[in-house]
């Protein structure tokens, strides 16, 4: 696995445990998440995946370079395209790469789902499940990402 740098902090991203397919990694510092094309394609419903891809091509130039293209041979600086979706009145900005299909999700885009928990059984205060180790955090991150994507597709 190549070392991939956070496009915001320039620190090395951590692979978030066993994801099903493809590469998804998280920045320990800013908590942004990068998901590569394989991951998105295999974890999303085909139709949603293609709609999301189409949005990348209609987006406007973003401020960050694709961390995946910068890290994987041949290393190339590819500017990502940003687009905004607004599910349920919340706005999310997503950066996508037209070349490799990776997408970058800033931590802010995940926050509403960390605090919301609409479809999770409510747990008291600091009642975060602590019964297993770091793998749970990785799983949480993937679930947050899937939750967020699910909500985004509702807005299309």
Minimum separation from the CB atom of position 116 to Zn ion (A): 23
Residue 132: partners with Cβ closer than 8 Å, 6 or more residues away: none
Minimum separation from the CB atom of position 134 to Zn ion (A): 18
* Nearest CB to Zn ion, comparing residues 107 and 150: 107
Binding-site member from 4, 6, 33, 44 for Zn ion (CB under 5 A) = 6
**Residues 81-110 contacting Zn ion, CB under 5 A:** 97, 99-100, 102
Residue 30, interface with Zn ion (CB under 5 A)?
yes
Helix (H, G, I), strand (E, B) or coil at 116: coil
Minimum separation from the CB atom of position 88 to Zn ion (A): 26
Helix (H, G, I), strand (E, B) or coil at 78: coil
Q: Would you call the peptide bond into 74 cis, given omega within 30 degrees of 0 as the criterion?
A: yes
* Nearest CB to Zn ion, comparing residues 5 and 140: 5
Contact assessment for residue 66 and residue 102, using Cβ atoms and an 8 Å cutoff: yes
- DSSP 8-state class, residue 13: P
* Nearest CB to Zn ion, comparing residues 138 and 155: 138
Rounded CA gap, 129 and 123, in Å? 9
Binding-site member from 69, 110, 141, 148 for Zn ion (CB under 5 A) = 69
In DSSP terms, 3 is beta-bridged to none
Minimum separation from the CB atom of position 129 to Zn ion (A): 25
Residue 25 φ then ψ, to 5°: -145, 160
Minimum separation from the CB atom of position 137 to Zn ion (A): 16
Residue 29, interface with Zn ion (CB under 5 A)?
yes
Rounded CA gap, 85 and 70, in Å? 26
Binding site for Zn ion (CB under 5 A): 6, 8-9, 27, 29-30, 66, 68-69, 78, 97, 99-100, 102
């Amino acid at each position: 696995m190549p070392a991939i740098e956070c496009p915001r902090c320039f620190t090395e991203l951590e692979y978030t445990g066993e994801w099903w397919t493809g590469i998804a990694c998280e920045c320990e510092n800013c908590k942004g998440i990068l998901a590569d094309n394989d991951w998105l394609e295999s974890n999303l419903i085909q139709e949603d995946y293609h709609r999301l891809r189409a949005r990348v091509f209609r987006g406007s130039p973003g401020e960050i370079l694709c961390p995946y293209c910068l890290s994987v041979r041949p290393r190339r600086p590819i500017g990502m395209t940003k687009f905004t979706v607004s599910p349920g009145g919340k706005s999310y900005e997503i950066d996508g790469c037209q070349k490799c299909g990776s997408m970058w999700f800033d931590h802010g885009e995940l926050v509403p789902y960390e605090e919301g928990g609409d479809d999770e059984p409510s747990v008291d205060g600091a009642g975060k499940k602590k019964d297993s180790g770091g793998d749970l955090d990785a799983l949480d991150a993937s679930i947050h990402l899937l939750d967020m994507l699910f909500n985004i597709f509702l807005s299309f």
